[in-house]
Amino acid sequence: MTVTGDFDRIALLGLIVGQFRINRHGEHGPNHWARVRKHALTVGASTGADLLVVELFAFLHDSQRRNENEDPLHGPRAADYATSLNGVRFELTAEQLEKLCFAIRHHSDGGKHPDPTIQTCWDADRLDLGRVGIKPAARYLSAAGAKEIEAAYQWSLASPEQEDLRLWGLL
């Protein structure tokens, strides 16, 4: 399969938002995905992460939530969804897809991982905990992720509803 570093974001996001079951303006919606994407690309530039994988993680990891609270299977469901879109909306190698799916499946388990791409995904999600009033903790982040805590926390608190628009502006 051809490996490309790019994909049609409008088509992918349209598909994801179209099937999203919960509040589009809620804590796990596109405004969160946009901040996770920015954190993933920022941290990933330092960690050497696969930037295509971490961007796809941002868009997909919470896409299968069925509520805003207890939904322990939303990661595994989203990993299956990501697999179904490979070769349709983006093109990943088997190794890339494996990392993406592992990161998505286990993103809310609270662990750390030695692979820089997987850990960058988890850093990016955890760096947006300020939106629910939790300050990110360095012990759950890579060294590169920990450097972003203050800026990320202020960003989460300052504009929780506006990054959605910024996301679409990126397209």
Query: Which residue lies nearer to Fe ion by CB, 83 or 108?
Result: 108
Q: In this structure, how many other beta carbons lie within 10 angstroms of the beta carbon of residue 76?
A: 14
Distance CA 70, CA 74 (A): 9
Binder among 13, 43, 59, 62 for Fe ion (CB under 5 A):
62
Site membership for Fe ion, residue 125 (CB under 5 A): yes
Q: Vertex 149, ends 16 and 75: CA angle to 5°?
A: 30
Site membership for Fe ion, residue 123 (CB under 5 A): no
Query: Which residue lies nearer to Fe ion by CB, 62 or 163?
Result: 62
Q: In this structure, how many other beta carbons lie within 10 angstroms of the beta carbon of residue 42?
A: 19
* Per rule CB under 5 A, count of chain residues that contact Fe ion: 3
Site membership for Fe ion, residue 55 (CB under 5 A): no
Stretch that binds Fe ion, among 13-21, 38-46, 119-127, 139-147 (CB under 5 A): 119-127
Query: Which residue lies nearer to Fe ion by CB, 125 or 164?
Result: 125
C-alpha count within 13 angstroms, C-beta hemisphere, residue 83: 15
Beta bridge partners of 90: 86
**Residue numbers of the site for Fe ion (CB under 5 A)?**
62, 108, 125
